[in-house]
Every structure is written in C-alpha cells, then in structure tokens.
Structure 1
Amino acid sequence: MKREMMGAKIHGAHVTHVNLHYEGSCAIDQNLLDAAGILPYERVHIYNVTTGVRLDTYAIPAKRGSGSIGMNGATARLEHIEDIVIIVTYVQFEDEEIASHRPTVVVVDEHNRPVKTLHHTIRSKS
C-alpha cells in the first residue's frame, strides 16, 4: 500500500511579493529550495497561516539569497505581502520504504532566512 507523507516543509515564511499577471507558481529563494530539497517545478502546497487559505501550485526558483517568497498568477489573489505561509511537499512511499524517510523542515525568520533545519524520523507502529 502506498502512503503519502510530508517530504519537506518551509515553515513560517513571509510573502514578499505577488504578481497577478505572471503565468503562475510560487517563487522561492533558491537557498530555501536547496535547504528543503524542493526541486523547481515540484508541486507545493501553500498553507496561509494569516488567512487560513490552502492552495497548491508549483515551485520556481527565485534569486539565491533574496529571501523571496512570491505568489504568482491566480495565487496572487489569495495571498498578500507579509502573509505568513507554510510551504509543504508530499511524497508517496510503500510501507516498507517509510522507515528510511526523513522529512525535512526548514524554519525561517521574518526575512525568510533559514534559522533551523530539522530532519524528522518516522517511528514505526511497533
């Protein structure tokens, strides 16, 4: 049986810009993508802590070290500058693969700089 598990999370990011007239996506500072292990064009779920809005789109790289978290296209109607968001990816595993999975959580400050990176362990039911 396949299970869907959190793969990576960027926690507490602040939206820095919105651009309604862009083709779509979420622009994320390349340093944060690297720290979380998120690839360009990978599906991401955006959970807006400020408004409660939840949506999904795909990640694109923003300038390395810029601290950018940009909401483009239709997402720009749902997110606002300075909103606090959580950006999450999910991955699918067979049961026997789960024990070796270590989800990554990158906690950021108010300037979207990483302050802590965690690698969680999945505990078995036994």
Structure 2
Amino acid sequence: MWIEVFKSKIHRVRVTQAELHYVGSITIDEALMEAANIIEGEKVQIVNINNGERLETYVIRGERNSGVICLNGPAARKVQVGDIIIIIAYALMPFEEAKKFKPTMIFPDENNRIV
C-alpha cells in the first residue's frame, strides 16, 4: 500500500507579489526551495493564514536570496501582498517507509530569509 504523506513545509512566509496575468503557479526563492527540499515543477498546497484560502499549484524557481514569494495566475486572486502563507509538499511512499520518514520544515524570518 502507498500513502501520501507530508514531505516538506515552508512555514509562514510573506507574499511579496501577486501576478494575475501569468500562466499560473507560485514563484519561490531558490534558497527557500533548496532548504525545504522542494523542486521546480513540484505540486504544492498553499494555505493562507490571513484569509483561510487553500489551493494547489506548482513551483517555479525564483531568484536566489531574493525572498520572493509570488502567486501567479488565478492563484493571485486568493492572496494579498503581505499575507502570510504556508507552503506544503506531499509525497507518495510505501506505508512502511512512511512510518520512518522525517519531513523537512523550514521557518524563514519576516523577510523570507532562512534563519
């Protein structure tokens, strides 16, 4: 049996941009992606602390150490610049492996920088 488990989390980052007229996705600072073990193109869930919105999209690599967190396309309507969000990635794995798996969690500072 395979199950979907929590793999990675970028906890409480601030939205720096929202670009409605874009194909779609979330742009994340490459340094944050690396630290959280998230790759470009990976499906993520976005949870907005400010308004309770939850959505899924895929990741685009942003400029390293820029602090960029940008919701693109229709997702831009679900946030305001300055909102605090949590970015979560999941993985499928065999049940027994999942029991031992340890997720990666990062807690950036108020400027979306790795502490």
* TM-score (ref. length: structure 2): 0.97
CA-based RMSD of the aligned residues comes to 0.8
Partner Cα distance (1:55, 1:28) in 2: 16
Q: CA deviation at 1:7?
A: 0.4
Structure number, greater radius of gyration:
1
**Unmatched 5+ stretches in structure 1:** 116-126
Greater RCO (Cα-Cα under 8 Å, separation 6 or more): 2
> Alignment length, in residue pairs?
115
Who is 1:46 aligned against? 46
Please state if 1:82 is matched with 2:82: yes
4+ residue segments displaced more than 4 Å: none
Who is 2:24 aligned against? 24
**Which residue identity does 1:46 align to in structure 2?**
I
Who is 2:101 aligned against? 101
Q: CA deviation at 1:94?
A: 1.1
SS at match of 2:107: strand
**Unmatched 5+ stretches in structure 2:** none
Identity %: 43
Partner Cα distance (1:97, 1:39) in 2: 21
